[in-house]
Amino acid sequence: MATPAPETTAQQLQTFENDESLQVDDAVAPNADDDTDDADSALGGDFSESTASITSSILRYRTIHGRTYHSERGNAQYWGSNDERQSEVLDINHHALTLAIGDKLFLSPLETDKIQRVLDVGTGTGIWAIDFADEYPGVEVIGTDISPIQPTWVPPNLKFEIDDCTQEWTFPPAHFDFIHIRGLVGSIDDWDLLYQRAFTALKPGGWLESYEISPKWESDDDTVADDSAMGRWGGVFIEAGKKIGRSFTIVQDEVQRKGMEAAGFVNIQEKNIKQPIGSWPKDKRFKEIGVYGKLVMDRDAEGLMMFMAGLAGWTREDVLVYVAKLKKELRSGKHHSYYRQKSVWGQKPE
Protein backbone atom coordinates (compact mmCIF):
# COMPACT_ATOMS: atom_id res chain seq x y z
CA MET A 1 0.00 0.00 0.00
CA ALA A 2 1.38 3.40 -0.99
CA THR A 3 2.54 5.76 1.71
CA PRO A 4 1.48 9.42 1.38
CA ALA A 5 4.95 10.91 0.91
CA PRO A 6 3.84 14.51 0.31
CA GLU A 7 1.92 15.70 3.37
CA THR A 8 0.16 18.59 1.64
CA THR A 9 -3.01 19.37 3.54
CA ALA A 10 -6.35 20.25 2.01
CA GLN A 11 -6.19 23.54 3.89
CA GLN A 12 -2.94 24.48 2.18
CA LEU A 13 -4.44 23.99 -1.27
CA GLN A 14 -8.09 24.88 -0.88
CA THR A 15 -7.67 28.60 -1.50
CA PHE A 16 -6.49 27.94 -5.05
CA GLU A 17 -8.83 25.09 -5.90
CA ASN A 18 -12.32 24.89 -7.36
CA ASP A 19 -12.16 28.49 -8.65
CA GLU A 20 -12.41 29.94 -5.16
CA SER A 21 -11.47 33.61 -5.05
CA LEU A 22 -8.06 34.56 -3.74
CA GLN A 23 -8.41 36.99 -0.84
CA VAL A 24 -6.77 40.38 -1.29
CA ASP A 25 -4.62 41.87 1.46
CA ASP A 26 -6.18 45.31 1.95
CA ALA A 27 -3.07 46.38 3.84
CA VAL A 28 -1.04 46.24 0.62
CA ALA A 29 -1.24 49.73 -0.79
CA PRO A 30 -0.84 50.60 -4.47
CA ASN A 31 2.86 50.72 -5.42
CA ALA A 32 3.66 48.29 -2.58
CA ASP A 33 5.37 46.05 -5.14
CA ASP A 34 7.43 48.91 -6.56
CA ASP A 35 10.78 48.08 -4.97
CA THR A 36 12.24 44.94 -6.50
CA ASP A 37 15.37 45.14 -4.34
CA ASP A 38 13.28 45.07 -1.17
CA ALA A 39 11.42 42.05 -2.50
CA ASP A 40 14.73 40.31 -3.18
CA SER A 41 16.02 40.90 0.34
CA ALA A 42 12.75 39.74 1.88
CA LEU A 43 13.02 36.40 0.10
CA GLY A 44 16.25 35.34 1.75
CA GLY A 45 18.92 33.16 0.17
CA ASP A 46 17.33 29.70 -0.18
CA PHE A 47 16.10 30.15 -3.20
CA SER A 48 17.72 5.97 -32.35
CA GLU A 49 17.13 9.74 -32.39
CA SER A 50 17.68 10.61 -28.79
CA THR A 51 20.56 10.28 -26.35
CA ALA A 52 22.01 7.58 -28.61
CA SER A 53 22.65 9.99 -31.50
CA ILE A 54 23.40 13.39 -29.94
CA THR A 55 25.98 15.38 -31.91
CA SER A 56 27.78 18.65 -31.28
CA SER A 57 25.04 20.48 -33.20
CA ILE A 58 22.96 20.66 -30.02
CA LEU A 59 25.64 22.91 -28.52
CA ARG A 60 25.34 25.48 -31.32
CA TYR A 61 22.77 27.83 -29.85
CA ARG A 62 20.69 30.30 -31.83
CA THR A 63 21.05 33.97 -30.94
CA ILE A 64 17.98 36.21 -31.19
CA HIS A 65 18.30 39.86 -30.18
CA GLY A 66 21.30 39.03 -28.02
CA ARG A 67 19.59 36.12 -26.21
CA THR A 68 20.55 32.48 -26.77
CA TYR A 69 18.08 29.68 -27.52
CA HIS A 70 18.58 25.97 -28.05
CA SER A 71 19.56 24.91 -31.56
CA GLU A 72 16.91 23.71 -33.96
CA ARG A 73 16.99 19.94 -34.05
CA GLY A 74 14.23 17.54 -35.10
CA ASN A 75 10.96 18.42 -33.40
CA ALA A 76 12.69 20.02 -30.42
CA GLN A 77 11.12 23.38 -29.70
CA TYR A 78 11.34 25.50 -26.59
CA TRP A 79 10.33 29.13 -26.55
CA GLY A 80 12.36 30.31 -23.55
CA SER A 81 15.93 31.53 -23.66
CA ASN A 82 18.58 29.17 -22.26
CA ASP A 83 21.07 31.81 -21.15
CA GLU A 84 22.17 32.56 -17.59
CA ARG A 85 19.59 35.28 -17.05
CA GLN A 86 16.71 32.99 -17.95
CA SER A 87 18.21 30.11 -15.97
CA GLU A 88 18.04 32.29 -12.87
CA VAL A 89 14.36 32.91 -13.60
CA LEU A 90 13.70 29.17 -13.97
CA ASP A 91 15.23 28.54 -10.55
CA ILE A 92 13.15 31.32 -8.96
CA ASN A 93 10.03 29.93 -10.59
CA HIS A 94 10.87 26.44 -9.31
CA HIS A 95 10.64 27.76 -5.77
CA ALA A 96 7.27 29.38 -6.48
CA LEU A 97 5.93 26.20 -8.06
CA THR A 98 6.98 23.99 -5.16
CA LEU A 99 5.50 26.43 -2.64
CA ALA A 100 2.24 26.34 -4.60
CA ILE A 101 1.86 22.61 -3.88
CA GLY A 102 2.68 22.88 -0.20
CA ASP A 103 6.47 23.19 -0.42
CA LYS A 104 6.69 19.71 -1.97
CA LEU A 105 8.46 18.33 -5.02
CA PHE A 106 5.56 16.09 -6.05
CA LEU A 107 2.03 15.10 -5.13
CA SER A 108 2.06 11.48 -6.31
CA PRO A 109 1.70 8.96 -3.44
CA LEU A 110 5.13 7.43 -3.91
CA GLU A 111 6.49 4.68 -1.71
CA THR A 112 9.73 6.60 -1.37
CA ASP A 113 11.44 3.83 0.57
CA LYS A 114 10.97 1.45 -2.37
CA ILE A 115 11.55 3.51 -5.53
CA GLN A 116 14.82 2.98 -7.39
CA ARG A 117 14.79 5.12 -10.53
CA VAL A 118 13.25 8.52 -11.30
CA LEU A 119 13.18 10.47 -14.58
CA ASP A 120 12.74 14.24 -14.83
CA VAL A 121 11.70 15.11 -18.39
CA GLY A 122 12.53 18.65 -19.52
CA THR A 123 14.73 19.22 -16.49
CA GLY A 124 15.82 22.75 -17.51
CA THR A 125 18.44 23.95 -15.03
CA GLY A 126 18.06 20.63 -13.23
CA ILE A 127 16.92 22.22 -9.99
CA TRP A 128 13.95 19.87 -9.43
CA ALA A 129 16.12 16.80 -10.12
CA ILE A 130 18.85 18.12 -7.81
CA ASP A 131 16.38 18.73 -5.00
CA PHE A 132 14.86 15.27 -5.46
CA ALA A 133 18.26 13.56 -5.55
CA ASP A 134 19.32 15.41 -2.40
CA GLU A 135 16.15 14.42 -0.56
CA TYR A 136 16.30 10.77 -1.69
CA PRO A 137 20.01 9.85 -1.93
CA GLY A 138 19.25 6.17 -2.45
CA VAL A 139 17.32 6.80 -5.68
CA GLU A 140 18.94 6.97 -9.13
CA VAL A 141 17.72 10.19 -10.79
CA ILE A 142 18.06 11.14 -14.47
CA GLY A 143 17.23 14.59 -15.81
CA THR A 144 16.83 15.12 -19.56
CA ASP A 145 16.65 18.30 -21.61
CA ILE A 146 17.44 19.61 -25.08
CA SER A 147 19.83 22.25 -23.70
CA PRO A 148 22.90 21.33 -21.61
CA ILE A 149 22.49 24.16 -19.09
CA GLN A 150 22.63 22.04 -15.94
CA PRO A 151 25.40 22.43 -13.35
CA THR A 152 28.40 20.11 -13.18
CA TRP A 153 28.44 19.65 -9.42
CA VAL A 154 25.40 17.55 -8.58
CA PRO A 155 24.47 14.80 -6.10
CA PRO A 156 26.23 11.50 -6.89
CA ASN A 157 22.90 9.75 -7.53
CA LEU A 158 21.95 12.22 -10.30
CA LYS A 159 23.01 12.46 -13.93
CA PHE A 160 21.86 14.70 -16.77
CA GLU A 161 21.42 13.68 -20.39
CA ILE A 162 20.79 15.76 -23.50
CA ASP A 163 17.61 14.33 -24.94
CA ASP A 164 14.58 15.35 -26.99
CA CYS A 165 11.48 13.87 -25.39
CA THR A 166 9.51 14.36 -28.62
CA GLN A 167 11.67 11.70 -30.30
CA GLU A 168 11.65 7.95 -29.68
CA TRP A 169 12.70 7.21 -26.10
CA THR A 170 15.72 4.93 -25.69
CA PHE A 171 15.12 3.96 -22.07
CA PRO A 172 14.25 0.30 -21.49
CA PRO A 173 10.56 -0.51 -20.95
CA ALA A 174 9.40 -0.73 -17.33
CA HIS A 175 12.54 1.08 -16.14
CA PHE A 176 11.37 3.93 -13.87
CA ASP A 177 9.32 4.09 -10.69
CA PHE A 178 8.42 7.76 -11.14
CA ILE A 179 8.47 10.13 -14.11
CA HIS A 180 8.15 13.86 -13.51
CA ILE A 181 7.21 16.29 -16.30
CA ARG A 182 6.92 20.02 -15.66
CA GLY A 183 6.84 23.21 -17.71
CA LEU A 184 6.68 21.77 -21.23
CA VAL A 185 3.65 23.82 -22.31
CA GLY A 186 4.24 25.15 -25.81
CA SER A 187 7.03 22.63 -26.47
CA ILE A 188 5.23 19.38 -27.30
CA ASP A 189 3.60 18.59 -30.64
CA ASP A 190 1.91 15.37 -29.48
CA TRP A 191 1.05 15.16 -25.78
CA ASP A 192 -0.74 11.82 -26.14
CA LEU A 193 2.43 10.27 -27.56
CA LEU A 194 4.52 11.80 -24.77
CA TYR A 195 2.32 10.19 -22.12
CA GLN A 196 2.33 6.87 -24.01
CA ARG A 197 6.13 6.85 -23.98
CA ALA A 198 6.15 7.64 -20.29
CA PHE A 199 3.69 4.80 -19.70
CA THR A 200 5.99 2.36 -21.50
CA ALA A 201 9.06 3.53 -19.57
CA LEU A 202 7.36 3.12 -16.18
CA LYS A 203 7.36 -0.04 -14.12
CA PRO A 204 3.94 -1.53 -13.33
CA GLY A 205 2.68 0.44 -10.34
CA GLY A 206 4.88 3.42 -11.23
CA TRP A 207 3.62 7.01 -11.27
CA LEU A 208 3.66 9.83 -13.81
CA GLU A 209 3.17 13.42 -12.66
CA SER A 210 2.58 16.24 -15.15
CA TYR A 211 2.61 19.85 -13.92
CA GLU A 212 1.75 22.58 -16.45
CA ILE A 213 0.73 26.22 -16.45
CA SER A 214 -1.54 28.50 -18.44
CA PRO A 215 0.05 31.71 -19.77
CA LYS A 216 -3.22 33.62 -19.41
CA TRP A 217 -3.27 36.15 -16.56
CA GLU A 218 -6.59 36.42 -14.76
CA SER A 219 -8.19 38.03 -11.70
CA ASP A 220 -11.25 37.27 -9.59
CA ASP A 221 -12.18 40.94 -9.15
CA ASP A 222 -11.86 42.24 -12.73
CA THR A 223 -8.60 44.07 -12.00
CA VAL A 224 -6.95 42.46 -15.04
CA ALA A 225 -8.58 43.98 -18.11
CA ASP A 226 -8.37 42.19 -21.46
CA ASP A 227 -6.70 45.21 -23.07
CA SER A 228 -4.12 45.66 -20.31
CA ALA A 229 -0.54 44.43 -20.63
CA MET A 230 -1.35 41.67 -18.15
CA GLY A 231 -4.47 40.75 -20.07
CA ARG A 232 -2.58 40.51 -23.36
CA TRP A 233 0.28 38.29 -22.11
CA GLY A 234 -1.37 34.91 -22.62
CA GLY A 235 -2.77 35.72 -26.04
CA VAL A 236 0.72 36.31 -27.44
CA PHE A 237 1.76 32.77 -26.53
CA ILE A 238 -1.50 31.11 -27.56
CA GLU A 239 -1.66 32.72 -31.00
CA ALA A 240 2.06 32.33 -31.77
CA GLY A 241 1.92 28.71 -30.62
CA LYS A 242 -0.68 27.95 -33.28
CA LYS A 243 1.84 28.97 -35.94
CA ILE A 244 4.30 26.28 -34.89
CA GLY A 245 1.79 23.61 -33.92
CA ARG A 246 2.36 23.94 -30.18
CA SER A 247 -0.51 24.41 -27.74
CA PHE A 248 -0.40 26.81 -24.80
CA THR A 249 -3.90 25.84 -23.62
CA ILE A 250 -2.90 22.55 -22.00
CA VAL A 251 -4.54 23.46 -18.68
CA GLN A 252 -7.78 24.78 -20.17
CA ASP A 253 -8.17 21.85 -22.58
CA GLU A 254 -7.60 19.14 -19.93
CA VAL A 255 -4.80 17.74 -22.09
CA GLN A 256 -2.96 16.12 -19.18
CA ARG A 257 -5.85 14.07 -17.83
CA LYS A 258 -7.14 13.11 -21.29
CA GLY A 259 -3.70 12.08 -22.50
CA MET A 260 -2.95 10.04 -19.40
CA GLU A 261 -6.31 8.28 -19.59
CA ALA A 262 -5.69 7.46 -23.26
CA ALA A 263 -2.25 6.05 -22.42
CA GLY A 264 -3.75 3.65 -19.87
CA PHE A 265 -3.00 5.33 -16.54
CA VAL A 266 -5.33 4.69 -13.61
CA ASN A 267 -5.90 6.33 -10.22
CA ILE A 268 -5.59 9.71 -11.92
CA GLN A 269 -5.88 12.73 -9.64
CA GLU A 270 -5.29 16.44 -10.11
CA LYS A 271 -4.81 19.74 -8.32
CA ASN A 272 -5.95 23.00 -9.87
CA ILE A 273 -3.95 25.95 -8.62
CA LYS A 274 -4.15 29.71 -8.96
CA GLN A 275 -0.66 31.16 -8.63
CA PRO A 276 -0.63 34.87 -7.74
CA ILE A 277 1.74 37.44 -9.20
CA GLY A 278 2.60 40.15 -6.67
CA SER A 279 2.29 40.53 -2.91
CA TRP A 280 -1.44 41.24 -2.93
CA PRO A 281 -2.80 37.95 -1.41
CA LYS A 282 -3.86 38.09 2.23
CA ASP A 283 -2.53 34.63 3.13
CA LYS A 284 1.15 34.70 4.14
CA ARG A 285 2.17 31.65 2.09
CA PHE A 286 0.39 32.83 -1.04
CA LYS A 287 1.84 36.31 -0.58
CA GLU A 288 5.32 34.76 -0.65
CA ILE A 289 4.44 32.80 -3.78
CA GLY A 290 3.22 36.02 -5.38
CA VAL A 291 6.45 37.83 -4.54
CA TYR A 292 8.42 35.12 -6.33
CA GLY A 293 6.00 35.26 -9.26
CA LYS A 294 6.54 39.00 -9.61
CA LEU A 295 10.30 38.59 -9.27
CA VAL A 296 10.27 36.26 -12.28
CA MET A 297 8.68 39.00 -14.37
CA ASP A 298 10.92 41.73 -12.97
CA ARG A 299 14.03 39.73 -13.78
CA ASP A 300 13.27 38.57 -17.31
CA ALA A 301 9.80 39.03 -18.78
CA GLU A 302 11.61 39.91 -22.00
CA GLY A 303 13.40 36.56 -22.16
CA LEU A 304 10.18 34.69 -21.47
CA MET A 305 8.27 36.22 -24.36
CA MET A 306 10.82 37.41 -26.96
CA PHE A 307 10.77 34.26 -29.11
CA MET A 308 6.99 33.80 -29.17
CA ALA A 309 6.36 37.52 -29.66
CA GLY A 310 8.66 37.40 -32.67
CA LEU A 311 6.55 34.61 -34.16
CA ALA A 312 3.52 36.83 -33.61
CA GLY A 313 5.15 39.58 -35.66
CA TRP A 314 6.47 41.76 -32.87
CA THR A 315 9.77 43.61 -33.17
CA ARG A 316 12.27 43.80 -30.32
CA GLU A 317 11.15 47.37 -29.75
CA ASP A 318 7.53 46.20 -29.51
CA VAL A 319 8.55 43.72 -26.83
CA LEU A 320 10.52 46.28 -24.83
CA VAL A 321 7.65 48.78 -24.87
CA TYR A 322 5.18 46.07 -23.87
CA VAL A 323 7.39 44.78 -21.04
CA ALA A 324 7.75 48.32 -19.69
CA LYS A 325 3.95 48.62 -19.55
CA LEU A 326 3.66 45.20 -17.91
CA LYS A 327 6.17 46.09 -15.20
CA LYS A 328 4.41 49.40 -14.60
CA GLU A 329 1.14 47.54 -14.00
CA LEU A 330 2.91 45.13 -11.66
CA ARG A 331 4.43 48.00 -9.69
CA SER A 332 1.10 49.77 -9.32
CA GLY A 333 -0.25 47.12 -6.93
CA LYS A 334 -3.74 47.64 -8.37
CA HIS A 335 -4.01 44.37 -10.26
CA HIS A 336 -4.75 41.13 -8.40
CA SER A 337 -3.40 38.84 -11.08
CA TYR A 338 -2.77 35.11 -11.11
CA TYR A 339 -2.32 32.35 -13.64
CA ARG A 340 -3.71 28.83 -13.53
CA GLN A 341 -1.65 25.71 -13.02
CA LYS A 342 -2.60 22.07 -13.01
CA SER A 343 -0.77 19.09 -11.59
CA VAL A 344 -2.08 15.70 -12.73
CA TRP A 345 -0.71 12.35 -11.60
CA GLY A 346 -1.61 8.80 -12.48
CA GLN A 347 -0.40 5.24 -12.00
CA LYS A 348 0.55 2.52 -14.44
CA PRO A 349 -1.54 -0.56 -13.51
CA GLU A 350 0.23 -3.22 -11.45
Taking the CA atoms of 35, 36, 41 and 44 in sequence, report the sign of the dihedral they define.
positive
pLDDT, tens digit, for every residue of 293-348?
999 899 888 888 888 888 899 998 999 999 999 999 999 989 999 999 999 999 99
CA distance 241 to 84: 24
Give residue 6's pLDDT.
43
* Residue 265, pLDDT score: 99
Contact at 8 Å (CB) between 206 and 347? Answer: yes
Distances (CA, A) of 65 to 62, 87, 150, 214, 317: 10, 17, 23, 26, 10
Those residues of the chain that have pLDDT short of 70 are: 1-22, 25-87, 149
Short-list 279, 230, 70, CA closest to 166: 70
Q: CA-to-CA distance for 229 and 201, rounded, in angstroms?
A: 42
Dump pLDDT digits (tens) for 202-243: 999 999 999 999 999 999 999 999 999 999 999 999 999 999
Contact 298, 292 (CB under 8 A): no
* pLDDT score at 46: 36
Residues 6+ apart with CB under 8 A from 119: 141, 142, 143, 144, 171, 176, 178, 179, 180, 201
Report the DSSP beta bridge partners of residue 181: 121, 210
Q: Phi/psi class of residue 114: alpha, beta or left (left: φ > 0; alpha: ψ in -120 to 50)? A: alpha
Q: What confidence score (pLDDT) does residue 36 get?
A: 46
At residue 47, the pLDDT reads: 31
Please state, as a whole number, how many other Cβ atoms lie within 10 Å of the Cβ of residue 169. Answer: 23
Reported pTM: 0.81
Whether the CA torsion 174, 175, 181, 187 is positive or negative: it is negative
Residues in contact with 45: Cβ distance below 8 Å, sequence separation at least 6, in sequence order? none
Dihedral, CA of residue 257, residue 260, residue 264 and residue 268, to nearest 10:
-50
